[in-house]
Structure formats: structure tokens, C-alpha cells
Amino acid sequence: MRSDVVRLFQTLPHRCGYYEARSAQNLVIDPSVPQLPQLYDLALSRGYRRAGGHVYFPHCTGCRACVACRIPVDRFTPDRGQRRCIRRNADLEADVQPAGYSDERFALYQDYLRSRHLNGGMDDATPEDFARFLYTDWSPTRFVEWRLRGRLVAVAVTDFCTTGLSAVYTYFDPAEQDRGLGTFAITEQVRIARERGLPHLYLGFWINGHPKMDYKRRYRPLELLRSGRWVADESRAAVTPP
């Protein structure tokens, strides 16, 4: 096989994580290629996403509901609600740490999953699941952590790439949900990207009208990957997913 050719694998159909009545499939970059760390940066700019050691893109028959999205950080301006959220969390201390397992991180992860995904298959995660899902040996992953008087209250698993930051997964203390820590984490990741001179914060996939995915449109401006090109999302008009 030529060294400049990279294989893509297509997964078998499996249950869609967003629509119960649909099945899903992904294209996955060959996880065995030595140049995967370099490919990941390029793939991120093409709309791919990382989960554990796999870099994938949705490729579902008859459905294109998942749309890659990103924030151009230099042009991002928080709205009134986001500014309130930033002020509400001004008492938190932020730190960027290497990715990895700790009992403290895992305990918070368990609490979050049990509050958000009870009986959904994720709430009984093991330490191995934690590591397998959030990071891998080759990924440029850091854990952005926030503490309240020394107590860990939120973690944003973030990939630090040359094309920007990728918001992989955020989890937080369910007892602190009134703080809007999910919103705060995104505004903080924008701040970190801007401070480091990185152009974008990648938010994964947006799904129009989906109760768990449509929130990403609240971050303006937002760019969407349409037909292989990043374009500004200038309309808030509802679009029925296929």
C-alpha cells in the first residue's frame, strides 16, 4: 500500500445515539497508521471527531443530521446569558493538566454520568471505560479543571491541536448544575484558544432541533461544515433533519 494512502473503515450499522428509531454508521480512519497523530489535526479541520483512539465521521444511510461545527474564537462574543454565566463562576480556579486517570477525576465522572445517563448504559463506567473513552496515548489531550476552594467541580477534556482546540467531553458536579458549568466550560475553552493563538474551538456535531445538541447554536458566530466547506451559520431558522 502506498505510504500516502490512508484507509478508511466503515462500521457496521448500530443504534443511533441521538434518534432511537435510526441506525448509525461511521467512517473511521485506520487506527493502526503511525501518522495518526498528524492526520488527526487535518481530520479535525475536515469535520472528524475523536473518541478514545478512534477518529471518525458520521456516514449514515439516508441521514445527514450531524453537522460538524466550530467557533472562530477571535470573533466570538458571549451573549448576555453567557456573560452572566462567566460572572457566576468567577470564584472558580482553572488549571490545565495532562490527561490521565485519578480517583478524584473518576469519582466526579461517575457522579455526572449517574445524574445524566441513569440506566443508559454509561452510568456503570469503570476506570478502563474512563480512559478508553476520553484519551489515548497519541492524542494531544489535556484536562481543563475547575476547582471551588480546592474541590474539583468540572473537567473539560480538550484536545490541543494546531488547528484549534477540540472540546471532546465535559463533565461536572451535578450538585453545581445551577452554575451552568457546561456553558462556562465552552466560554473558557474559547478564552484558552484565543490566548494560545489558536483559531477555532471545535464543538463536534450540531443537530438541528435536537434537545441535547441544538444548544451549540447559542455560541455566535458559529461555522458549519457544509458540502466540505466551512460556512457561517447566519440563520436561526429551523431545519428539519433528514
**DSSP state letters, 175-204:** GGGGG-HHHHHHHHHHHHHHHTT--EEEEE
**Mean pLDDT score of the chain:** 94
pTM: predicted TM-score of the whole model, two decimal places: 0.93
- Could you give the C-alpha distances from 239 to 40, 181, 202, 232, 242, in angstroms and in order? 30, 28, 22, 16, 9
Q: Tell whether the model's pLDDT for residue 225 goes beyond 50.
A: yes
pLDDT mean over 122-149:
94
Percent of residues, the chain, with pLDDT higher than 70: 93
Question: How sure is the predictor about 138, in pLDDT bands with cuts at 50, 70 and 90?
Answer: very high
Question: How sure is the predictor about 234, in pLDDT bands with cuts at 50, 70 and 90?
Answer: confident
Which residues are bridge partners to 96 per DSSP? 144
What's the CA dihedral at 237, 239, 240, 242 to 10 degrees?
-170
The pLDDT, as a whole number, for residue 119 is 56
